[in-house]
Amino acid sequence: MLSLDSAKIAVIGLGYVGLPLAVEFGKKYQTIGFDIDTGRVAELQKGHDHTLEVDAGELAEADQLRYTAELEALKPSNVFIVTVPTPIDKHRQPDLEPLRKASESLGKVIKRGDIVIYESTVYPGATEEDCIPIIEQHSGLKYNEDFYAGYSPERINPGDKKHRLTSIKKVTSGSTPEIAEFVDALYRSIVTAGTHKAESIKVAEAAKVIENTQRDLNIALINELAVIFNRLDIDTEAVLQAAGTKWNFLPFRPGLVGGHCIGVDPYYLTHKSQAIGYNPEVILAGRRINDNMGSYAVSQLVKEMLKRRIHVCGANILVMGLTFKEDCPDIRNTKVVDIITELGDYGACVDIYDPWVENAEAEREYGLALTTSPQPNHYDAVILAVAHNQFRQLGPAGVRALAKNRHVIYDLKHILPSGEADIRL
């Protein structure tokens, strides 16, 4: 049985989740950060993180952390933590390929007595039903005899400088009582907010996947209310502010639901639910509402443009913001793309401006080219799609200065004061 003193940690995947974890462990334990992206490894070796989750000073503090893209370098490790992405495919089905490939790689380096801990979001049962058999197959070792497993779901909130890895309580679990205690102690040694030891790996998996499912449903309710209130010609934000004076009213707001978690995780749960013969009606209804908000936003904009006798086909439209949330460079599963695509279907000429996003990243992920400097007095419509602080600082006059005399300003995120936008969600 491993002890904390003998732990040698390898973190597999150095994205938004893996890097902050590797850095914290690298302050206390011998740690290797592994990623198949050699460019990412080279960047980190130079002390830079393009995701902006960890600054140069924090990287330097992790004096026991080194980075590699070589699988062989992981062999001395005895605790392997998997933090690879778990996306969905074009059919909105779980895509476990990154997880399977990581498990296959681990099967080539794992030894007797080692522990594998998964942090990637999955449906209940995925760790032991999908991942562990792959490790067994490629290692020749037997689960819970030769090697062990744990699950401790990530709770990273990209761009959030207040709620950090160490200040968010960590759920932990293990494949045996002894391993569960070790995994809990390991995370407790770096997470100042403490830990919650779940009774099983499946419980920990389920706890993670419902966190974002609950949030998704709450936003879906507010989105549906926004559609209703818009038809009634009632300001949704004014309604929410009034309702929010009650102590137990939850402060959710309407909007596009994208990102690597909220717009993805519910599909993992519904997939597993359908596999066991139950159709999850409420969860899928919420997903349909949220997935359709991009189309709804465009329909609102088009109607307002037509009322003002602005031709949509050939119109110059500026979309301000591409990331899935404000003040963050993360464009994974951003639903702003839905708006851009639909405007293109109408024949509009769309410029995209986002000071947080590198043009190469937008091109690689979505085939989109960004504009670095929107032209003044040029646009028939301006959509405030993401509430970046830079856009807030422009104010109503700064935003309208980008538009022609006859135009539509659509404030999706309620960035501008009430009455300063032509449409609000």
Q: Is 313 designated active site?
A: no
Q: 75: which residues sit within 8 A by CB, 6+ positions away?
A: 109, 111
Alpha-carbon distance of 286 to 270, in angstroms, equals 12
Q: Using only C-alpha atoms, what is the Rg of the chain?
A: 23
Q: 39: which residues sit within 8 A by CB, 6+ positions away?
A: none
Strand partners, 65: 31
Choose among 156, 158, 174, 152: nearest CA to 166.
Answer: 156
Q: Is residue 115 within 8 Å of 78, Cβ to Cβ?
A: yes
Choose the catalytic residue: 131, 261, 313, 328.
261
Secondary structure percentages of the chain, helix, strand, coil, to 5: 40, 15, 45
Choose among 293, 296, 291: nearest CA to 264.
Answer: 291
Name the DSSP class of 131.
I
CA pseudo-torsion sign 177, 182, 187, 193:
positive
| Residue written as token pair 């004014």 | 238
Task: Give the residue numbers annotated as catalytic, written as ranges.
Answer: 261
